[in-house]
Structure 1
C-alpha cells in the first residue's frame, strides 16, 4: 500500500469476521519517522475521519462521535450514524501510538462483540508499535 508521504511505511490488513456480530475489520498502520511527525499527521487524519469521503462507506454516510475502547497517545473514535441494510455499523478508531498512526474500521451489528474486537486489535497494535 502506498504511504501518505515518502518518509513513512504503510501497512494494510483486512480480516473477515469469525465472531458472531462482527463482519470484518480493516487495519491501516502507518509508521512515521518520529512521534512529532505522527502527532501532526494524527490531528489532521483524525479530524478528516469525522466526515469520511463518499467512497469510504458509501454516499450519504455520516459519522457521530464514538466511545474509545483503548487509550493511546492520541485516540478518536467514530461510529456511522445509521446502520446498513444488514444492521451493521462501522466503528472507526484512529490511534497514535508513538510514531505509529493506526486506523481501525470494524463492521458489525453487535456493539458488545464489536467493542471486544476493537480493544483486542488496539492492544495488539500497541504491543508491537515502536516508540
Structure 2
C-alpha cells in the first residue's frame, strides 16, 4: 500500500484540485505501474466529500491488481494505492485506511 496526502488551504481549493487529480489518475504515467498499464473505473469503498476509484485492467505476473482510491476529505486529498490479489481482502483494507484518514482530516 502507498498513501499520498495533500493538505490544502481550504475545502474549496481541495475540491478544485481533487477534480483534476482524480481525472488524471484514470491514465497513470508509465513509471507509476509500468508501461502499458491501464485502469478501469472501480467501485469506491468509502463515502466522503469526494471519491473516485480505479483498478488496473489486468493483473501483474503475480496475479495482483492495483486499486487506486482518491478521496477529498475536507481540505485533504488522499490517494491510496493498494496492491493485492484477493479483491475482498483488499476492499477491507482500503476501507479501513479511508476511515482512519477521514477521522483525522482537518475540515
- Do they fold alike, i.e. is TM over 0.5? yes
- Secondary structure of residue in 2 paired with 1:130: coil
The offset of 1:98, in angstroms, is: 0.5
Moved segments of 4+, more than 3 Å = none
1:113 aligns with 2:89: yes
Indicate which of 42, 46, 64 corresponds to 2:18: 42
Cα RMSD for the two superposed structures? 0.3
1:82 aligns with 2:58: yes
The offset of 1:40, in angstroms, is: 0.3
Greater RCO, 1 or 2 (C-alpha within 8 Å, sep 6+): 2
In structure 2, the gaps of 5 or more residues are none
- Alignment length (residue pairs): 107
The offset of 1:94, in angstroms, is: 0.1
Decide which structure has greater helix share. 2
The superposition leaves residues 59-81 of structure 1 with CA deviations (integer Å, 9 ceiling, x where unpaired) of 00000000000001000000000
In structure 1, the gaps of 5 or more residues are 1-24
- Secondary structure of residue in 1 paired with 2:80: strand
Of structures 1 and 2, the larger Rg is shown by: 1
Query: How many angstroms apart in 2 are the aligned matches of 1:62 and 1:72?
Result: 26
- TM normalised by structure 1 equals 0.81
Query: How many angstroms apart in 2 are the aligned matches of 1:67 and 1:31?
Result: 24
